[in-house]
Amino acid sequence: MLPQEIIRKKRDGGELAAAEIEFLIEGLTAGRVTEGQAAAFAMAVFFRGMTMEERVALTRAMVRSGATLDWSDLSGPALDKHSTGGIGDNVSLMLAPAVAACDGFVPMISGRGLGHTGGTLDKLDSIPGYRSQPDIALFRKVVREVGCAVIGQTADLAPADKRLYAIRDVTATVESIPLITASILSKKLAAGLDGLVMDVKTGSGAFMPSFEGSAELAESLAMVATDAGLPTTALITDMNEPLASAAGNAVEVMNAIDYLRGVHVDPRLHEAVVALGGEMLLLGGIAESIEDGWAMIDAAIGSGRAAERFGRMVAALGGPTDLMERPAAHLPRAAITRPILPHRAGFVAKVDARAIGLAVIQVGGGRTRAEDAIDHAVGFTSLAGHGDPVGPDAPLAIVHARDEAHADLAEAAIRAAYTVADDAAERGPVVLARFAAAEDGPDAA
């Protein structure tokens, strides 16, 4: 077989055999398939799509490209959550320790930023000393002793996906349901999980801005995961505005620490954490009902037990032992901090969440090429949400920039991202629907 002939077949709308997909992925892992060929394959899939059988074959091929983990020696279920990507989405930083505080185990393998969205791995890399890509032995040790470890892909787990992930980010092929499905699930299947909850975003800041597209992705993830023996539930959540009031890397870590310590809690963020955590506890058999799961997660956060787990996780993976007590002493800070005021006073009527994500990249907090370095200190805080009053004493956001020139760019971008009206609009719910493979379709939340 030749890579170019497989690419040609998919380009022309043909259905690839499992052996052809295996050949391509094996070649990508070994270096026989070039980045150019991988990019062409991704673009062909983007336009031509994949059948469910092809998606399963691609996912399984990526899993087989590396090692797999076995958590059968743990005293509780191995559970995880994955988001399809959003703006101000730092849920993993609170959710993993909250579930661990409820006697679940969370071996969470996260990614870097893709397109206009931020990545959990980039956020954690803003913590000095934190080993976001430890070896498997340390990963297992931290999960067993602390209850959670949030890391990036190691060289052992789904290495083919790691390479393709970076290529998709810079070739405008991120928004492909088959590729998203295979990318997410290959890591989760390799991680040896007992249950998975998917946070599928919809709205202006999501990869799938329409509800219909998000529902299609949720179905794809649930069906492929179920076929592979991994119980999976998907929640479709709103991304028509940033989830947290911060967007960036270090600023989102600070937001998460404030949340866990009870210093500042964004209501929409809390709604998402509780909803996703409840589903994880239900899948793992820790909670008897979804209501019990919600209550358990809420109690883990309110009692400080989740904060304690997060601090232990950071220290166990090489970060500061006093991060929770003195975060400002460790997290990087930008040279310029400036409030961004609206053109007029009023209430936020609409937010272009994607534009805010692109603004983070514009000030240096994201990538336009896979090899780009990022500035972990830059970003935005105090982001206004739907219905919030804004004016001379209530900014749209506060920009954290490396210099005045970048702050000026950010100011223009943020002002363009917000629509201000005379009357306050009612804020909708975060969770819009729930989807599981055994159901006929998404149910309204």
Specify the pLDDT at position 87.
Answer: 94
Specify the pLDDT at position 170.
Answer: 84
| 204, two tokens | 């202006």
Q: Lowest-pLDDT range, 81-90, 155-164, 336-345?
A: 155-164
Checking if the pLDDT of 304 tops 50, the result is yes
Residue 103 CA to residue 83 CA, distance in Å, equals 22
- For residues 249 and 169, the model is more confident at 249
Amino acid at 262: G
Domain coordinates in residue numbering, the chain: 3-49, 79-327+431-444, 333-421
Residue 82 pairs in a beta bridge with 198
Q: Which DSSP symbol is given to 416? A: H
| 208, two tokens | 């799938």
Checking if the pLDDT of 439 tops 60, the result is no
Q: Which contiguous run of DSSP H or E holds residue 225? A: helix 211-227
- Give the residue-averaged pLDDT of 169-191: 89
- Give the residue-averaged pLDDT of 309-314: 98
Residue 367 CA to residue 108 CA, distance in Å, equals 23
DSSP codes joined into one string, 427-440: P--SEEEEEETTSS
What's the pLDDT tens digit per position in 119-133? 888 999 999 999 998
Whole-model pTM: value is 0.88
The closest alpha carbon to 206, from 93, 116, 270, 82, belongs to 116
Query: Going edge to edge, which strands form the sheet with 397-401?
Result: 247-248, 379-381, 397-401, 336-340
Amino acid at 157: L
Residue 414 CA to residue 345 CA, distance in Å, equals 15
Q: Which DSSP symbol is given to 76? A: S
Checking if the pLDDT of 207 tops 90, the result is no
Highest mean pLDDT among 156-170, 200-214, 333-347: 333-347
- Could you tell me the fold of the domain covering 333-421? Aldehyde Oxidoreductase; domain 3 (3.90.1170)
- Return the percentage of the chain with pLDDT > 70, whole number: 96
Q: Lowest-pLDDT range, 99-113, 314-328, 430-444?
A: 430-444
Specify the pLDDT at position 440.
Answer: 45
Which residues are the active-site residues? Answer: 80-83, 120, 168, 183, 187-188
Contact 279, 197 (CB under 8 A): yes
Pairing between β-strand 148-152 and β-strand 106-110 as defined by DSSP bridges: parallel
Note the CATH architecture for domain 3-49: Up-down Bundle (1.20)
Specify the pLDDT at position 364.
Answer: 87
- Could you tell me the fold of the domain covering 79-327+431-444? Pyrimidine Nucleoside Phosphorylase; Chain A, domain 2 (3.40.1030)
How many CA atoms lie within 13 Å of 151's alpha carbon, on the beta-carbon side?
A: 30
